[in-house]
Structure 1
Amino acid sequence: MKKGKSELADICKIQLKGVKDTQDLLSGKWKTVIIAALYYNGKFRFMELNRHIDGIAPKVLSKELKDLEMNQLIKRTVLNTMPITVEYELTPHGESLNKVIEAMGEWGVNYRKSI
């Protein structure tokens, strides 16, 4: 059966809503960079992550990590050490962004080469 314009429009609306939902979750200057750092490097302690991401203020990093944790994209683990150590890692839901992160990385590298 041939799809009409209204069927295609409904599919487009669903996909566009999905894009908007993703954009809302990853909005801001740093969220995708934080997710990428955790994706490529695994677990990080707060200060390690802060040093790894150039230009992010600790207060901003803290806020972004809280948002990502609230949206279940990262997991925060408090270790029973002296002093207290906190580690961050991707949740399975956060890891499901791997194709998006890899595609963004490849696109960025190719774009940088072309300009």
Structure 2
Amino acid sequence: MTSDYSTLPGFSGVYLEDSFVLSIDEQPQQFSFELEAVLRPEHPDYHPPLPGEQFCYADARLIFDDVSDVEWLARSTRRYTDASGNEDLGNIDSLIVEEQDCYLIEGDWGRVRIRCPRAPRMLLPH
């Protein structure tokens, strides 16, 4: 049975589909995305969008710990440039829980399946 990321602990009030992936870091036993994450009003760190922005953005990391396997199904090195000249790798279009320990993540940057025993976590530095 699959489910999307909204069912994961700590993801309430986060909207990945309009968040920007700034970088992807693949280390032994850890896989992470550096994000400019979109926060919805129900998130405790939400604030009204800054002038010129459509959403409330916050620096964040989407982290998978104790990773046992990473399978890249597709990969892209394409970069996107926004109106202010900042580059990113696009968005996360979907994060699906395929099984208890298997996650499928897809976006403009590619598609990857990650196996790890714990749910991913969203870290927003304060």
The normalised TM-score by structure 1 is: 0.27
Please state which structure has a larger fraction of its residues in strand: 2
User: Which has the bigger relative contact order, CA under 8 A and spacing at least 6?
Assistant: 2
Structure of larger gyration radius: 1
The normalised TM-score by structure 2 is: 0.25
